[in-house]
Structure 1
């Protein structure tokens, strides 16, 4: 039996810092004939109700005209010419901009070795752009190459924006000074990355230099301000130093502690024991100032004034408040590959598999933790702050695509209206990615001149976000007294290429079935 010291060393390698995968993922296969139609000289989406991504109310019927990869016409009331065009009959359906997932990871050889598994699930749920933070924690990261192939549509994948993890080994050696930090940032820019993900593993002077250089290079910055570094750099401090985005809850509560300099953890707390780490972080809710107090409002106003973006990723921790529900989600049997279910199971070494002896008290603590976390997000949003949607898939029972729709539901739970949720998932996400570049995003809105990234759904997502799940929504037909499944994305369009979402899901189901058969 392994000693507890050996187990802790293994956990450290997996979670204390970004880990290097032991071997490479499978290469992404070229997009095959029949995997997507187009782009077309003219594509007309007829008769849909349009939710344009700005937050404006829906309107319809409209005909949307696409030429090649670009939206070239929006005909309100219908009547767009269709001679020679590829026509999608969307009468009675709803069309939105393609969704943007600002917190993406891909699999690894242990849990999900084929990158196309996640890519297909994202596309099947209407996600046409993903920011990887990062896509892979390994040397010889293929994410930049994948992003270029996706941009050329030679692989079947959303549009990919890879971020490098700060500290990734580079030819210049250790990053042990502000000058080295700037050198590393310039090197990352030259490699073709779009931004940097920080894990709170740098001293304030080094972090400040890296953030300043990133801004000069037009690179985005986002941070997971974990417990190991938050005593020196909480969210307020990181934003003061120039950070562009805060993901998860880390750093916020430590910026709002009530009359104490740091979190009050029990004497036997151990960050490397993930049950201890995640159980006790929820107890921070009992140590902060009152929501709505002067100190609370001062912090919210500070974040808004600094122009930081929040991508809360509520969904990735949702199992903490009801692990049984997360473990038995209805999509796991058909769409979650067995190796991923193995990874999700309680484990001393797999990151996020921390339900070793999860109690009612732990779940209650997390339910209480969500209240101020969601209140902070809502207050920030209501005062003009930008909130985006990120799913952080591949951990804690959160499978690609399904996790993203779960995040949309939880943004509504936090108090955003359905229209505001759609804006967070579309325009806001596009703006977060492109703001550091100093340009307007080419997608994120249904507007003439924008890229034809669109998602078409048979049911009204504003009435029920559950109709966006790949498994659809189960409801009772009150005329027949029979249960029926409705919804699910019908078509996802990226760069004017039309993907049949049910076919993508079927291809994923075949991957799952094949892995199950190989285990027999």
Structure 2
């Protein structure tokens, strides 16, 4: 497979460990979860149904097979309860739609040789759907087989929606013409991919042809507009050409430069040196127009009017503003594999492990960068733009599942209200995945007829999103004087199958302990 130059550079970075590692292990057949049941009732919970409506409850939610068939204020009728194969007692708890992670990866033997590690962590945090960008890099990987096995519920995994990176996975030659771009898109559709992730390595005319073909084929499109190609295609240009979504921050600030047509790079800058790349990118905030200026507002209006979706993935870069905090998160000791901690450590080769000599000045620059990035995203959302929640896990001290809840907290920090955060995490993500196909999503809200994808958590996450972390929330009990852990997802329901979230976390903890023992 021959790739365009800059695409090849990016693929090489992302797959740097996997290239030399052993083949991915096969995900074992499912042994966890109970159901689906002819009748399942989630009883007594307060409900946050996902569209933005306020909580209501208590309710009884009736599920038959994998579909919600009734929602009763108070208790379900006795005759319905008598038919239930299982009643989940959720009194004092909150039930929400299953979460949708719009930016997932899960394939690198140097980090975690068993993909079930990531899948179980996602489910343990209430994530019932994941869009893979990509799940695995390169040909002959189990993106599609994992997708089919998850759809059949023969593995313990969220719903999987595989995207392929443009030009990856096939043997049809370089993407160097409009005809080749269209051929690759048709090939990806025929293989079973749901969409395409673009790095901006293509000439604009070739990119436009690929985007046009993707629209015809009903494939979603999302862009990571990396610096090597942003001089040709920034976020404004990509959206003009027909891009459905922009992930990360790339391309936005290059669309808002104040006094220059191109970014100003410092002496000695080298994109291939990731400390140089990521240390510099935060300084881009010093080169753009001011938030609230006429140019800033015009750009946000353009994005909203173009109906593009933003999946900012704030959390994946959060170590840049406090690396010591990131490497000492509560969950690392028990739930992060030693091999993953090795990958996270400063490295000259591992993608994202770029803080080889990370300074206070770097962190201060990133904190300013986040203020601008938060402002852009929140204002886009306030004006009607769609924002979704993506975690991009497995890099920069961001472990699966935990990283997703961190993203929800950062959406809140950016300015979305708690209800808006839940909407971003549920129906907004579902719509981003299904709209390119011209279909209404079958999940994302708690409604009669929708798929039974649900998350049940003690307490009210609108009051405290930390309740969603697998490690729970630490607080002082004023009555007993004891420090206690509260929260943590109790049950995740996917397709009517009830998963015990703490049991999934215990499975992960055993994987970690086994690797420690083997070392």
Say whether the 8 Å CA contact 1:121–1:400 is kept in structure 2: yes
Aligned with residue 53 of structure 1, among 45, 50, 57: 50
Per-residue CA deviations over 1:275-328 (Å, capped at 9, x if unaligned) read: 000000000001100101110011000000010000000000000000000001
Does residue 82 in structure 1 map to residue 81 in structure 2?
Answer: yes
17-26 or 313-322, larger mean C-alpha shift: 17-26
Cα displacement (A) at 1:441? 0.2
Two-structure CA RMSD over aligned residues (Å): 1.3
Change (3 A) 1:497 1:169: closer
Say whether the 8 Å CA contact 2:455–2:489 is kept in structure 1: yes
Mapped to 1, the partners of 2:395 and 2:436 lie a distance apart of 28
The equivalent of 1:194 in structure 2 is: 194
Mapped to 2, the partners of 1:374 and 1:324 lie a distance apart of 22
Change (3 A) 1:103 1:18: farther
The equivalent of 1:153 in structure 2 is: 153
Per-residue CA deviations over 1:429-457 (Å, capped at 9, x if unaligned) read: 00000010100000000000000000000
The equivalent of 2:69 in structure 1 is: 72
The equivalent of 2:243 in structure 1 is: 243
Q: How many residues align?
A: 508
User: Residues 343-362 of structure 1: matches in 2 within 5 Å?
Assistant: 343-362=343-362
Does residue 228 in structure 1 map to residue 228 in structure 2?
Answer: yes
Does residue 62 in structure 1 map to residue 62 in structure 2?
Answer: no
When the two structures are superposed, what TM-score results if normalisation uses the length of structure 2? 0.96
Mapped to 2, the partners of 1:431 and 1:179 lie a distance apart of 30
Mapped to 1, the partners of 2:417 and 2:170 lie a distance apart of 44
The equivalent of 2:12 in structure 1 is: 14
Change (3 A) 1:227 1:69: same
Mapped to 1, the partners of 2:432 and 2:16 lie a distance apart of 23
Per-residue CA deviations over 1:387-420 (Å, capped at 9, x if unaligned) read: 0000000000000000000000000000000000
* Structure 2 SS opposite 1:46: strand
The equivalent of 2:500 in structure 1 is: 500
Mapped to 2, the partners of 1:269 and 1:347 lie a distance apart of 18
User: Residues 324-473 of structure 1: matches in 2 within 5 Å?
Assistant: 324-473=324-473
The equivalent of 2:4 in structure 1 is: none
The equivalent of 1:7 in structure 2 is: none
Cα displacement (A) at 1:79? 3.3
Mapped to 1, the partners of 2:478 and 2:171 lie a distance apart of 66
The equivalent of 2:110 in structure 1 is: 110
Say whether the 8 Å CA contact 2:52–2:419 is kept in structure 1: yes
Runs of 4+ in 1 over 6 A off after TM superposition: 10-13, 16-20
* Structure 2 SS opposite 1:350: coil
Mapped to 2, the partners of 1:315 and 1:71 lie a distance apart of 32
Say whether the 8 Å CA contact 1:28–1:116 is kept in structure 2: yes
Does residue 100 in structure 1 map to residue 100 in structure 2?
Answer: yes
Change (3 A) 1:470 1:198: same
The equivalent of 1:4 in structure 2 is: none
Cα displacement (A) at 1:169? 4.6
Mapped to 1, the partners of 2:10 and 2:162 lie a distance apart of 25
Cα displacement (A) at 1:16? 7.9
Say whether the 8 Å CA contact 1:12–1:272 is kept in structure 2: no
The equivalent of 1:30 in structure 2 is: 29
When the two structures are superposed, what TM-score results if normalisation uses the length of structure 1? 0.96
Mapped to 1, the partners of 2:16 and 2:166 lie a distance apart of 9
* Structure 2 SS opposite 1:155: coil
Say whether the 8 Å CA contact 1:258–1:288 is kept in structure 2: yes
In structure 2, runs of 5+ residues without a counterpart are 1-7
Cα displacement (A) at 1:17? 8.8
Mapped to 1, the partners of 2:192 and 2:466 lie a distance apart of 37
Mapped to 2, the partners of 1:174 and 1:19 lie a distance apart of 24
Say whether the 8 Å CA contact 2:122–2:128 is kept in structure 1: yes
User: Residues 240-279 of structure 1: matches in 2 within 5 Å?
Assistant: 240-279=240-279
Per-residue CA deviations over 1:243-265 (Å, capped at 9, x if unaligned) read: 00000000000000002101111
Say whether the 8 Å CA contact 2:50–2:445 is kept in structure 1: yes
